[in-house]
Amino acid sequence: MKTLFKKMIASLLVLTLMIGGSFALSYVNPAAQAITTDNTWSGSAPKYVFLFIGDGMSYPQFTAASDYLGAVASEGKKVESKNLGFTEFPVTGSAMTFDSSSFCPDSASTATSISTGFKTLSGVINMDEQKSIAYETISEKLKKQKGYKVGVISSVPINHATPAAFYAHQASRNNYYDIALELVNSDFDYFGGGGFLQQTGKASDKKDILEIAKEKGYTVANTKESILGLTAASGKVIAINPELVGSALPYEIDRKAGELSLADFTRKGIDTLYNETGFFMMVEGGKIDWACHANDAMASIKDTIAFNDAVSEAVKFYEKYPDDTLIIVTGDHETGGLTIGFAGTKYGTYLDNLSNQDSSYEVFDKSIETYRTNKTPFETVLKDIKAQFGLMTQTDVDASKNAEMVLSDYEYKKLKSAYDMSMIAKADRKTGEEEYLLYGGYEPLSIAVTHLLNNKSGIGWTSYSHTGVPVAVFANGKGSHLFNGYYDNTDLFVKLKALTNVK
C-alpha cells in the first residue's frame, strides 16, 4: 500500500512538473507581443519621443542622488531616500553596455548602440568595426521617413561623443571639426546646450562652424534672452549657453542663480520642435560622467538632479499629450565605479556630509593654480578646504562640534602629500603607476579633498574610467511597456525603430 501511495505521489509530481514546464515554455510576455516577428509595431507610432541619456549614469549615480536628498531632508537623523522623478516611471528595465572593444565601453560606441542598434569599437561613432560602413541613426530615420523634427541637447560640447552619435558618422570621436560639419549638414531642427570643440579646426585654420551654420539656415542663439525667446517659428536653431566652461555648461554645483540650466534648454527645445507631425529629442546629462571621472560625488549628484529636472520638462509635456508621447531615460555606461559604502565607515553612511561642499573639483583646481603660483602654505590652504569642503584638522576651533568632519592623522598625511604634489609644476611631477592610482591624472589636492569627503560620507570609487555594469532604463508613455526587462543596449534602437515604424 505504501509503495502504491509513493508511486501515485511521484506520478502527480511528474505531471505537475510537465504542466509547469509546458506553461513556462509556452508563456510569452504580453508586452513583447506588440512587436511582431519582423520587428514592427502593431500600434500607431508615438508622435513625440524623448530619449534622455545620463552619461556615466547607472544605478549608483541616481541612487546616490536619491539617498543624498533623503539624508539632507532628515538632517542625517533618518535613513530615507527621496526618489528622483524618472525613477518612479511605471516601466523599468536594464541594459548591458559592453562594446566590441571592452566590457568597459566608451560613450561613442555605447551611444552608437543606442542610436543605430549596432555594436562597434570604443571611440567610433556610427560606423562598423572596420570603419568602412556608416550606420543610419534613429534620429535620421525619423527625420527622413516620417518628417519628424529632431533636437539634440547636451550639457557638454554639442559635438562630443554622445550627442554626435545622433547625427554624425566618424571613425574617431576626436574628429570634432568633421563632426561639427555633419551637424550643420544634418538639417536637424534644434541643437542646444554646450558649444563646439575645435570650432575652427584642430589647427584653427578652418572656417568657423557657426558661420557655416548660418549659411545653412541656422539661427545661432547665444544670449539668455535670445534662447528664452525661441518658439516653433524660430526655424532651425543652434542655442549655445552664454556661460560656458570649456565649451560645456558649468557643473550644476557651480551654476549661478539665473544662469541657464539643462532643463531650460530642454524646455526651449520643446517649444522650438513642437508640431503636429511629431519630433524626436535626445537630451544628454554629460557632466554626470565628467564628475564621476574625477570622483567628485557631490558634483555628480547635483548634475544628476539637474538631469532629473530636465526630464521633468518632458513629463510636463507628456501630461498634455499622454496618448502621443514616449519618454525613455537611461545611461550609456557607468563611470568611476561609484559605490554607496566605504571600508572606513563600514555599514555607516553620512551622505548629508556632502552638503559641506560648495563647488566642484574644477573650481578648486583654479584655486590650486593660485596656490602654486603664490607658494601658499599648507596651513592657509587648509582654511580654504574647511570653507569649501567642511574638512578640518583636530586642532580646529570647530573640531569638537563637527567630529565627523575632522581629519584623522592618516587622512591629514594623505592631504599633505597631495598638497606637496600639487605644489610641483605639472611638467616636473612624477607620474608613475602609484600617482595614477592615487590621483588618476587629475590635480592631486582636488582628488584628495573630494576622496576624503566622499569617504567620510560613506562613498567609494574604484576607477577614474568607465566600468562594465548594466544601466537602468526607465520609460513612460506610449509603447513604454516594451522597455521592461533585461536586454542589450542595441535593443533600445530595435524597440524605438519598431515603435516608430521606420525602416
3-state secondary structure 377-422: CHHHHHHHHHHHHCCECCCCCCHHHCHHHECCHHHHHHHHHHHHHH
- What is the band of 19 on the pLDDT scale with cuts at 50, 70, 90? very low
Burial of 413 (0-12, 13-18, 19+ CB in 10 A): exposed
What pLDDT score does 430 carry?
Answer: 86
What is the mean predicted confidence (pLDDT) over 483-493?
A: 97
Q: What is the pLDDT of residues 271-280, one digit of tens each?
A: 999 999 999 9
Q: CB neighbours of 457 closer than 8 A, spacing ≥ 6? A: 297, 345, 349, 350, 351, 352, 353, 354
Q: Which residue, chain included where needed, has cell 557655416?
A: 212
What pLDDT score does 487 carry?
Answer: 97
How does the average pLDDT of the chain come out, rounded? Answer: 92
Which of 241, 162, 159 shows the shortest CA–CA distance to 196?
159
Which of 287, 269, 265, 315 shows the shortest CA–CA distance to 61?
287
Q: What is the pLDDT of residues 137-192, one digit of tens each?
A: 999 999 999 999 999 999 999 999 999 999 999 999 999 999 999 999 999 999 99
Q: What is the pLDDT of residues 22-43, one digit of tens each?
A: 323 333 333 444 555 455 567 8
What pLDDT score does 30 carry?
Answer: 38
pTM for the whole thing? Answer: 0.92
3-state secondary structure string across 193-246 = ECCCCCCCCCCCCCCCHHHHHHHCCCEEECCHHHHHCCCHHHCCEEEECCCCEC
Q: CB neighbours of 101 closer than 8 A, spacing ≥ 6? A: 109, 121, 122, 123
Are the C-beta atoms of residues 68 and 340 closer than 8 Å to each other?
no
What is the mean predicted confidence (pLDDT) over 243-268?
A: 97
CA dist 429 and 68 (Å) reads 36
Q: What is the pLDDT of residues 351-394, one digit of tens each?
A: 999 999 999 999 999 999 999 999 999 999 999 999 999 999 99
- What is the band of 77 on the pLDDT scale with cuts at 50, 70, 90? confident
What is the mean predicted confidence (pLDDT) over 329-347?
A: 97
Are the C-beta atoms of residues 91 and 483 closer than 8 Å to each other?
yes
What pLDDT score does 147 carry?
Answer: 98
CA dist 424 and 418 (Å) reads 10
What is the mean predicted confidence (pLDDT) over 407-420?
A: 98
Which of 129, 137, 183 shows the shortest CA–CA distance to 157?
183
